[in-house]
Structures are given as C-alpha cells and as structure tokens.
Amino acid sequence: MSVADELRVAPGSAPDLAAIDPGSTPGWSGDKVAAAARVRELKNELSDFQQRLWAERKQSLLVVLQALDAGGKDGLIRKVLTAFNPQGTQVTGFGVPSDEELEHDYLWRVHAHTPGRGRIGVFNRSHYEDVLVVRVNELVPKNVWERRYDQINAFERHLAENDTRILKFFLLISRDEQRRRFQKRLDDPAKNWKWSSADLDARAKWEDYLAAYTDALARCSTDAAPWFIVPADRKWYRNLAVAEILADTAAEMNPSWPPPEEDLSAVVIPE
C-alpha cells in the first residue's frame, strides 16, 4: 500500500487514535537518510507541479494542517511546503477570531483565504478549530458545534466542485513527545518565545482533544476532502508522508501547460 492509502481516513470510518503509534512509519521501510533524499526528489516534483498549476490557472490546491500543540505544523511548512514558490502560495494561520470576524459566521474568515485558480493555500490551523477548541473549551453550546460537521462538509464540497483540491493532515504526536518538545522550548533561549502557559491548559485536556479530533476525522473525511492521520513523533517521517501524498495528488491533478497565444515559429527577436 502507498503512504496515502495507509494514512487516509476512509469516509464513514471512525479512527482509533489510541491504537496508532505516533512513532510508526506506515508505508515506508527505509531509514531517515533515505527519507530525506526522497523528500528532496518530491520537492522537485512539487515545484514543477506548481509552475504548471500557475500557468494553467484552472485548479487550486488547499492544504489543511491540524495538530495538538507542538505537533509540528510550522516545521512541516519549512521542510516540505517551501517547495512551492511563495508568489503563488499563501500560508494562513487562524488564531482567536477578531471582533470583525466574530460579527460573521465562523466560515466567513476562512473562505476569504481559500486559494484562487492557479494558487496553493496552506491553513496552519483552520475552520476545524470551531469543532475542536470551541468544543473542548465549551465556547458555544453543543447543539451549535454539532451542526458544524455537516456545514464544514458542505463548504468543502462546494470548494471541490469549484476546482479546489483539498488535503487535510492531522499530525499525531504522543503525549511524551509533546512533553519533550515543550521542554526544549523552555531550555533553549532561542525557543523561549514559543512558550505559552496556555499550552499546559490544553495539555491537561489531552483526552478531550483526542475525542474531538476523532469525531472531526470520522465525520469530515470525505472523497472530496480526505483526512490523513500522519504519525509525527519522527519529524523526518512526517515530512516524507506529507510530501508523498502531495506528490500523488499533484500527479492526479496533472495541470497542463497552456498553448501559446500565437504561432511562435515566425517570431524573430530583434538584435
């Protein structure tokens, strides 16, 4: 089986997150060195794909990244998604909604950042916060966030039917690995700025977050917008897995170079 097949959440299925080893490497039998070499190859493929996507201007790609705190979203962006030219790529981080955003429905601010034709969008956190953080911290009643799964599916289906390909990655780390990464933030002065005491509040609700993620993955992995659960304790495997899935999708999208506007055979460039 391919990496994508190993990690995809089948529509209608309910993943058992507790049964997944965050340190495992599904679909990959090589070592860390071989994985790094493979990622370099895949980044070249992705760079070529983006050039054709930009030239064709008929499709777009949206990459959604979710994880528990210290799950590796930023590292993944640096190590893999830098394959894409920033001129045609927008990375959007969704934090606490602004006053203006709160005056609208929760998807309003998200739709504004979806990629246009020929472009790639990356969501570092996303509309799923409204069935994760909002649910765990009881920011809205259950009857409100319960309706959002169907609303999100309809929103993503709308994007897909209008030529936006969607890939959603949940980077799954272990509780022990999260603790190690938090400790590095405390021990390394260059990483102190990353530390927030709020991370400990979220860590105390670990099981609640896993339950919320389980429901989101089960109810919102569709053919139009699949979820992939990526074991992410090993950063090198995380990078490899996402790069492989992106490359598979790029091959399926297969954007074409557009024909020239005129017959170029007779063009002579003056000296």
Q: What is the CATH number of the domain that holds 99?
A: 3.40.50.300
Count up the domains in the chain and report the number. Answer: 1
Q: Output the pLDDT for position 90.
A: 98
Strands (E), the chain: 60-67, 89-93, 120-124, 164-172, 227-231
CA pair distance 128, 115, nearest whole angstrom: 17
pLDDT at 260: 83
Q: Which residue is associated with the tokens 């289906």?
A: 157
What is the residue type of 210? Answer: L
Question: Is 134 inside a domain boundary?
Answer: yes
Q: Collect the ranges in the chain with pLDDT lower than 50.
A: none
Helix, strand, coil share of the chain (percent; to 5):
55, 10, 35
Instruction: Assess contact for 59 and 159: CB atoms under 8 A.
Output: no
The pLDDT of residue 263 is: 81
Q: Do the Cβ atoms of 236 and 244 come closer than 8 Å?
A: no
In a domain? residue 48? yes
Residue 59 lies in a domain: yes
d(CA 234, CA 72): 10
In a domain? residue 101: yes
pLDDT of residue 267: 85
Determine, yes or no, domain membership for 261. no
- Structural domain span for residue 156: 3-254
C-alpha to C-alpha distance for 248 and 242, rounded to whole angstroms: 10
